Amino acid sequence: MIQLQQKTINLECTYCHTITPLRDFKGQCPACGEVIVEARYDLGSVNVDSWRTGLSRRRNPGLWRYHDVLPIYDRRNIISLNEGNTPLIRSEALAASLGLKYLYIKDERQNPTASFKDRQAAVAISWLKEMGVETVVVASTGNVAIAYAAYGARAGIQVWGFFPELAPNDKLREAAIYGAEIIKTTGNYDQTKELAASFARSKGFFLDKGIKSVASIEAMKTMAYEIAEQLGDDLHDGERWRSPDWFLQGVSGGMGPIGVGKGFRELQSFGLVDKLPAFGIIQSTGCAPMVEAFKRKQRVATPVENPRTVIATLATGNPGRAYELLYDYVAENGGSFISASDDEAFNAIRVLARYEGLSVEPATGVTFAGLFKLVQQGIIKPNDVVVVNCSGHTMPVEKRILGDQWQKLVDMSETGTAPRVPEEGFASVVRQMGDRNLRRVVVIEDNEEAARLMSRILESSDNCQVYLAHNGGAGLRVIQEVRPDLVITDLMMPDVDGFAVLDAMKNDPSLKHIPVVVVTAKDLTMQERQKLQQQAERILQKGSFIDDDFLSLLVNRLT
């Protein structure tokens, strides 16, 4: 095992490939002036296999377990809050409803300040400590400044956070509590970055260069190391590491995927993985300079002057050279740039929260909305191993997602000064709380898995009570008994099939008004389709439950 103090770290220019030792680096390539450079580690005679197997035995979890390939010379300078080592959660309900076998969610919300920016802060602040920097200026839409403020507090480094107008005040307060100086501008993110830069210059403070900083890219690459290690554990019993087929992320400046790409490339050069994942780069429709350029097959993006999105985290209008790097990566390794609207993102947040129990911030909602599209467009295939960067927690923006009806108030003032609520009043309060104006839905489906999935999806709609039946005969009995507001039925079932259920319902005057949605995996004949179109409200193909149409159909039917 190499010792950190003897580690050789060089920087390679991403443009002309000139090598400069890290210790001599002055912020740009001495040959061509390019500011984006990549760290290269001389690992000398390290045996990669014993390094890999030694990791789990000898090292603590967290991103510093990969310290051999991080740009810190002396481990005493490491400032850590146990960042990294976030779980790679295998999705069940969401995966099934998308028809995916291997959908993994890299839960970056579980970092110390609830976003993957903690990786960046940990490495960058440690690096600043090693260089003896005392004050750092950072422009941020929120999460970077929060993370820098927390790690800065631990390191005794003063953080100045510059925020654009769009950044939610809740996020600014979160940064302020760690003692950061907070400056909010009336400009957009790109203008705010310029202001921060001129402030730093005039004060002689260190300016964090974000994506152009070696520490940031190196920090983000640790996600690739963790994913490869975790996928290897899950799919190969830890015998080896592996790359996913896809890595997806909602992108602003692009630091995440650039770092992750570098990480997988490094792992491939060590012989630890055999390929690089394709990238799904997802931007907010109101600020999607990369997506627009990609559509035009251009390697240079045209900046978006006025981002039209409330998703501040993703509002980088001018991606600069970062887009070129990602464009080249996708050209070489596959992938796609696509956008999702704010509404699609908010819808995805609800779906994810209710299917998987994960509450995410809007930027991550954009990522999942993009996932749905890539699957629906057939770009991501059913057997692909997909990893989604679940980049940040909703907190503190739930209120934008929940609307007004998210809580029920129990008025207890009537009970006067009595220390207890009288039995009578209490019962009526409980009754009221239970009465959510429920709509009844009967689901007839013989496949257990599909039935479970459908009732989960339905029950995630607030006011829905689901009655399950596993064959047509039982289904009809339930329908007669509960008189539902909606029936959803499979077609192919033993004995009484979906066609027979429909016939029976349409022949019964008391049932014929109840709308029926047919969900089927069957290729329908022309005749069957015509008959169904007369009797059923809607015919849906299985495996398209996330379809916006399906959700809006249910919402319209049920509210």
Ligand X SMILES: *Cc1c(COP(=O)(O)O)cnc(C)c1O
Site residues, ligand X (CB under 6 A): 115, 117, 143, 250-256, 313, 361, 363-364, 391-392
303 preceded by a cis bond (ω within 30 of 0): no
Q: Tokens for 6?
A: 């003897």
Applying the rule CB under 5 A, the residues between 484 and 503 that interact with Zn ion are: none
Residue 143 interacts, among ligand X, Zn ion, none and using kind-specific CB cut-offs from 5 to 8 Å, with ligand X
Least separation, in Å, of the C-beta of 133 and ligand X?
A: 22
Which of 285, 364 has the CB closer to ligand X? 364
Residue 475 interacts with, from Zn ion, ligand X, none (CB under 5-8 Å by kind):
none
Q: 407-426: which residues touch Zn ion (CB under 5 A)?
A: none
Minimum CB separation from Zn ion for residue 405, in Å?
57
**Least distance from ligand X to the Cβ atom of residue 124, Å:** 13
Which residues in 30-89 contact Zn ion (CB under 5 A)?
Answer: 31-32, 34
Contact partner at residue 251 from ligand X, Zn ion, none, CB < 5 to 8 Å by partner kind = ligand X
Three-state DSSP class for 29? Answer: coil
In angstroms, give the least distance from the CB of 162 to ligand X.
15
> Which of 459, 429, 375, 324 is closest to 15 using CA atoms?
324
Return contacts of 480-484, CB within 8 angstroms, 24+ apart: 480/511, 482/440, 482/442, 483/440, 483/510, 483/511, 483/514, 484/440, 484/441, 484/442, 484/514
Distance CA 36, CA 459 (A): 49
CB of 131 to Zn ion, least distance (A): 22
Nearer to ligand X, 255 or 466 (CB): 255
Which C-beta is closer to Zn ion: that of 9 or that of 79? Answer: 9
Dihedrals phi, psi of 335, to nearest 5 degrees: 130, -170
Q: Give 348's Cβ-side CA count (13 Å radius).
A: 24
What is the DSSP pairing of strand 102-107 with strand 538-541? unpaired
Q: Kindly state the smallest distance separating residue 284's Cβ from ligand X, in Å.
A: 10
Site for Zn ion in 11-40 (CB under 5 A): 13, 15-16, 18, 29, 31-32, 34
Report the partner that residue 254 touches, choosing among Zn ion, ligand X, none (CB closer than 5 to 8 A by kind).
ligand X
Residue closer to Zn ion (CB basis): 16 or 427: 16
Judged by CB under 5 A, which stretch of 6-14, 139-147, 369-377, 469-477 contacts Zn ion? 6-14
By beta-carbon proximity to ligand X, the closer residue of 255 and 387 is 255
Contact 91, 103 (CB under 8 A): yes
Name the residue whose CB lies closest to ligand X.
392
DSSP states of 471-533? SHHHHHHHHHHH--SEEEEES--SSS-HHHHHHHHHTSTTTTTS-EEEEE-S---HHHHHHHH
**For ligand X, the closer CB: 211 or 505:** 211
Sort 527 into a burial class: Cβ within 10 Å, 0-12 / 13-18 / 19+.
exposed
Q: Which does 16 bind (CB under 5 to 8 A by kind): ligand X, Zn ion, none?
A: Zn ion
Can you tell me the distance from the alpha carbon of 464 to that of 436, in angstroms, rounded to the nearest whole number? 9
Terminal-residue alpha carbon distance, the chain: 63
Nearest approach, Cβ of 313 to ligand X (angstroms)?
A: 5
Stated as kind and residue range, the H or E segment containing 441 is strand 439-444
> Quick one: 214 or 272, whose CB is closer to ligand X?
214
- Nearest-angstrom CA–CA distance, 392 and 446: 38
Residue 413: exposure state from Cβ atoms within 10 A (0-12, 13-18, ≥19) = exposed
Number of residues that bind Zn ion (CB under 5 A): 8
Contacts (Cβ under 8 Å, ≥6 apart) of 503: 535
88 vs 167, beta carbon nearer ligand X: 167
Helix 498-506 and helix 526-535: axis angle, to 10°? 40
Q: Which is nearer to Zn ion, 18 or 359 (CB)?
A: 18
Picked from Zn ion, ligand X, none, the partner binding residue 105 (CB below 5 to 8 A depending on kind) is none
> Residue 284 binds which entry of ligand X, Zn ion, none, with Cβ cut-offs from 5 to 8 Å by kind?
none
Closest approach, Cβ 255 to ligand X, in A, equals 4
The binding site for Zn ion (CB under 5 A) comprises 13, 15-16, 18, 29, 31-32, 34
